[in-house]
Amino acid sequence: MSHLISTSILNADFSNLQKALEMINTSEADWFHLDIMDGVFVPNISFGPPIVEQIKKHAKKLLDVHLMIVEPDKYIERFKESGAGYLTVHYEACTHLHRTIQNIKSLGIKAGVALNPHTPVELLKEIIQDIDLVLIMTVEPGFGGQTFIQHSYNKIVRLKNMIKETGSSALIEVDGGVDLSNTRLLVDSGVDVLVVGSFIFRSTNPQDTITKLKLA
């Protein structure tokens, strides 16, 4: 499988969000990445289900929803109703992770688990076969435009080996500091899905940038 591009709309111009969505629709991007932040789990606030519903009305590609919130179990059904195709929760926010994953999958959507930079991938060994996606945060969660954490490569390789050893079909996704300088190395390390936001939306030609990321 060629690597996928999940375009993070957090860096888009929200005063003209429909234009950004249409750009992604007609680009070679594969998914829309939606960061949901509550100001508690991470020191920032973004948007909730009502905005996701509006995005769904215009999006022609899968919604990759990343919950950076406390008590995600309370909102799983609501985000499913809003149009999530993948719903990713944080390992650090879930007391009963297996139950949370099963709740997500029971609604007919894909379940992901995100790991903060300090959280080792080995903590997922007992549940990796139940997960559809593992999101490795390659910056501290909460803000866009941060510098990529270099030791993430080793973490990705360890996760890829775990997936192979257990026979899991989980995809590996990375989020934070992704650009053309590290895309190929990330893919070679085992990454399946690249979340890219600021690098796309700050470029002079976002569609061309997405194409270059796909071809890298």
User: Active site includes 64?
Assistant: no
User: Active site includes 13?
Assistant: no
Instruction: Give the Cα separation of 45 and 59 in Å (integer).
Output: 22
Please, are residues 67 and 46 in contact by the beta-carbon 8 Å criterion?
A: no
Please, are residues 171 and 133 in contact by the beta-carbon 8 Å criterion?
A: yes
Catalytic residue of the set 64, 132, 175, 192: 175
CA distances in angstroms from 149 to 15, 121, 140, listed in the order given: 31, 15, 9
Instruction: Give the Cα separation of 161 and 166 in Å (integer).
Output: 9
Catalytic residue of the set 35, 38, 132, 179: 35
Residues 6 or more apart in contact with residue 92 via CB below 8 angstroms: 41, 115, 116, 119
DSSP designation for 74 = G
Please, are residues 56 and 66 in contact by the beta-carbon 8 Å criterion?
A: no
Please, are residues 163 and 109 in contact by the beta-carbon 8 Å criterion?
A: no
Coil, helix or strand at residue 142: coil
Residues known to be catalytic = 35, 175
